[in-house]
Amino acid sequence: MVGIQDRKLALWNVGVAYIAFIIGTFCGLLQVFVRNDALNLPTWLNYYQILTAHGVLLALIYTTFFIFAFLIAGMSKTLGGFGPKVNLFGWLGFIVTTIGTALATVMIISGKASVMYTFYAPLKASGWFYVGLALVIVGTWLSSFALIGHYIVWKKRNKGQLSPLFAYMTISTLILWIIACLGVVATVVFQYIPWAFGWVDTINVELSRSLFWYFGHPLVYFWLLPAYIAWYVVVPKILGTKVFSDSLARLSFVLFILFSIPVGFHHQLTEPGISSFWKFLQVVLTFMVIIPSLMTAFSMFATFEISGRKKGGTGLFGWFKKLPWKDVRFTSIFIAMAFFIPGGAGGIINASFQLNELVHNTLWIVGHFHITVGTPVAMTFMGITFWLIPYLTGRKFTKRLQRLAFIQVISWSVGMLLMSTAQHILGLLGAPRRTAYSGYNGNVNALEWFDGILSNHVTMAVGGTILFLSAMLLLYIVANLLFVAPKAQLNGEFEEFPIAESDKSHTPKFLENWWIWIGVAVALIIMAYALPLSHMIQHSPPGSGHHITW
């Protein structure tokens, strides 16, 4: 069991994560109805306001707080309880991130920041929205430094030893995060804030977008890597086996540090201000960042097969039946993985230079991120929630709650399947994203295309409603695990924090020489970004004034 302070810190992070989740999912429900013309919002509430709240609170805030809860609990479990300085930084980080979140949320809800989570210029929000975002980043850095400090103390006490796999993966995730944030910090501090407060009149739009996507793509791996930590470290324990290969797991995380950052231009393939050479280079690097995910898929299949065969599974697929399907901690994560197969394949389509022309700015992309961050990541976090909260509160994940958890993950899968399939197909047929309801000017052809069984905004709304109900059930389970479920220590049985054994005896030590990987990552970033960014600065257009369209 982690120390009392570490436990409290992790629990507060879980708490804020789920408060963001309530508001974010409610906005999602409103959105699908507006988009299918079944709901008219009151005049004081704007579609783009709820779209911004939905994106910021679910994609940025729910994930970030949950990730820190998981990493804090796991680092305390694997490296030992936190010392006073680590605790202090951890709390400071939590408080600053929460203040930033509150400030940004108030700005969105009061209608002063309907700029969506990508906050593309020249749409302009209140300066306080950007200050809120900056505080969120500063807060996460403080939390990251706390965990890195804890790791350094451990390394000093255990000279020459490789750290436990959980800690290694946490540090990789935080290195990636800190390097990635440099882009968004640069644009928010030097471009958005002076512009939004009126200290300068114009903004260099292309530069601001490029710096955003320098951050925006690794951001998706900041969400994914904690899910991968659970896949590599937690799942084998639940299956009763070891980590398939310690070196492979570590190498895949190193590859994410190297290749997840110099690829942001694949979000800007249709933008005119970047020459096709740089786009092409970053597309090639994007294909490199697919490799660690393919390694992860291989490692997962190997883990499943080894454990299934150990339990007596025979034949080509006999092991499959031996997996612990009745354990929702496993089933939830398995479904999450299964969703990532089409999710990842969609990513490869998006990253293909020519195919991107077809899908960019269509609902296809919305479908893509709902089956990447919205299910593989989010459902892994749900699967973690079911044991992490009991582990932290000492309460029991009772049989009744387990049954409800099954209903919850299955309903989430059904809702997501309907909604994201409809989004993918509608997108291919040309339905745009980032828009409210469109009647397509009554165009007969367009209305026919969007009238299929799956290619229909109604199917999307049905899926969205099921998702909302599932989210409410999840919140019921979370509230029970936090406040109501019986205390387990009465029977002396705490929920475990599942961490599988990982054989480090053949793992090369250089995998933990961070300076090598940071050095190579910086070299790749310079190669991919130095010239195009300096070109954008030196040959900058006159700059854009602002637009407030709501």
Q: How far is the CB of 455 from ligand HAS (least distance, A)?
A: 20
Number of residues that bind ligand HAS (CB under 6 A): 32
Q: How far is CA 136 from CA 9, 53, 61, 407, 547, in A?
A: 17, 15, 9, 34, 25
434 is catalytic: yes
369 is catalytic: yes
Long-range contacts for 86-92 (Cβ within 8 Å, ≥24 apart)?
Answer: 86/146, 86/147, 86/149, 86/150, 86/153, 87/5, 87/6, 87/9, 87/146, 88/146, 89/142, 89/143, 89/145, 89/146, 89/149, 90/6, 90/9, 90/142, 90/143, 90/146, 90/147, 91/9, 92/139, 92/142
- Residue that is written with structure tokens 């600053």 in the block: 96
Looking at beta carbons only, is 18 or 244 nearer to ligand HAS? Answer: 244
| Phi, psi at 543, each rounded to 5° | 95, 160
Here the tokens at position 441 are 């000017």
221 is catalytic: yes
| Phi, psi at 203, each rounded to 5° | -135, 145
217 is catalytic: yes
Among 86, 148, 224, 431, binds ligand HAS (CB under 6 A): 224
Q: How far is the CB of 318 from ligand HAS (least distance, A)?
A: 15
Q: How far apart are CA 455 and CA 531, in angstroms?
A: 43
User: Is the Cβ–Cβ distance between 341 and 320 less than 8 Å?
Assistant: no
User: Is the Cβ–Cβ distance between 455 and 449 less than 8 Å?
Assistant: yes
Q: How far is the CB of 213 from ligand HAS (least distance, A)?
A: 8
- Local structure of 44: helix, strand or coil: coil
Q: Which stretch binds ligand HAS (CB under 6 A): 78-86, 194-202, 287-295, 516-524?
A: 287-295
Query: Of how many residues is the chain composed?
Result: 550
Active-site position among 166, 369, 381, 391: 369
Q: Examine residue 379 and tell whether it contacts ligand HAS (CB under 6 A).
A: no
Q: How far is the CB of 177 from ligand HAS (least distance, A)?
A: 14
Q: How far is the CB of 509 from ligand HAS (least distance, A)?
A: 27
Looking at beta carbons only, is 360 or 457 nearer to ligand HAS? Answer: 360
Q: Examine residue 398 and tell whether it contacts ligand HAS (CB under 6 A).
A: no
Among 22, 95, 118, 456, binds ligand HAS (CB under 6 A): 118
Q: Which stretch binds ligand HAS (CB under 6 A): 31-39, 189-197, 217-225, 480-488?
A: 217-225
- Work out the angle between the directed axes of helices 378-393 and 399-428 (0-180°, nearest 10): 160
Q: Examine residue 267 and tell whether it contacts ligand HAS (CB under 6 A).
A: yes
Q: Which stretch binds ligand HAS (CB under 6 A): 124-132, 216-224, 417-425, 532-540?
A: 216-224
Q: Which stretch binds ligand HAS (CB under 6 A): 16-24, 34-42, 91-99, 370-378?
A: 370-378
Write out 335-381 in H/E/C secondary structure. Answer: HHHHHHHHHHHHHHHHHCHHHHHHHCCEHHHHHHHHCCHHHHHHHHH
**Angle 228-218-59 (CA atoms, 0-180°, nearest 5)?**
75
Q: Examine residue 54 and tell whether it contacts ligand HAS (CB under 6 A).
A: no
370 is catalytic: yes
Here the tokens at position 269 are 């393939």
Q: Examine residue 238 and tell whether it contacts ligand HAS (CB under 6 A).
A: no
Residues of span 304-333 touching ligand HAS by CB under 6 A:
none
Site string for ligand HAS, 340-369 (x = CB under 6 A): xx--x--xx-xx----x---x----x--xx
CB burial of residue 314 (10 Å; 0-12, 13-18, 19+): exposed
Q: How far is the CB of 118 from ligand HAS (least distance, A)?
A: 5
Looking at beta carbons only, is 71 or 392 nearer to ligand HAS? Answer: 71
Active-site position among 360, 368, 395, 424: 368
**Angle 282-357-291 (CA atoms, 0-180°, nearest 5)?**
40
Active-site position among 266, 329, 370, 424: 370
Active-site position among 21, 433, 450, 497: 433
| Phi, psi at 110, each rounded to 5° | -85, 10
- Dihedral angle sign, alpha carbons of residues 358, 216, 171, 343: negative
- Dihedral angle sign, alpha carbons of residues 213, 429, 465, 113: positive
Q: Examine residue 244 and tell whether it contacts ligand HAS (CB under 6 A).
A: no
**Cβ-proximal residue to ligand HAS, closest one:** 344
209 is catalytic: no
Looking at beta carbons only, is 174 or 300 nearer to ligand HAS? Answer: 300
What residues make contact with ligand HAS under the rule CB under 6 A? Answer: 118, 220, 223-224, 266-267, 286, 289-290, 293-294, 296-297, 300-301, 337-338, 340-341, 344, 347-348, 350-351, 356, 360, 365, 368-369, 372-373, 377
Which residues does the annotation mark as catalytic?
A: 217, 221, 368-370, 433-434
